[in-house]
Amino acid sequence: MWGYIDTWGEFLISPRFEDAWFFSEGLAPAKEHGKWGFIGRSGEFVIPPQFDDSVYQTTVTESVGGLAGATLNGRFGYIDKAGSFAIGPSFTKGQPFDDGIAEACDPTRCGYIDRHGNGIWPKDIAARQH
């Protein structure tokens, strides 16, 4: 089980998660009962566990600029801090945003999207808004 410690090795959040990642923008992806959600610094879920593991390499990503990657029903998209898809789950995998763009892949190729889901390169890689 995974938890979080301080710099002295004392647990701030007791180990209770099946998997967990680092905090970014006050949230951290954490897995409980086979599903991913996002916890706050108290260790409580801010976005309830509802997102799936993926057969591809990306399951969830850290939050960058208010958007985090998440997989639902085998498709990858980007959620806001309320847990709603801001960029619909229409990709096979994706990466966190960096300087306003993120790598996203469909079944045949990868490209880059902006924070609105518009394809930057190649132009035909684009998400559906939800």
Q: Tokens in use for 37? A: 């959600």
> What would the pLDDT profile of 40-72 be if each residue is shown by its tens digit?
999 999 999 999 887 555 677 778 889 999 999
Whole-structure pTM value: 0.84
The answer to whether 48 touches 83, Cβ cutoff 8 Å, is yes
Placement of tokens 């959600």 in the chain: 37
Q: How many CB atoms lie within 10 A of CB 40?
A: 14
Evaluate if residue 130 carries a pLDDT over 50.
no
Percent of the chain exceeding pLDDT 90 equals 68
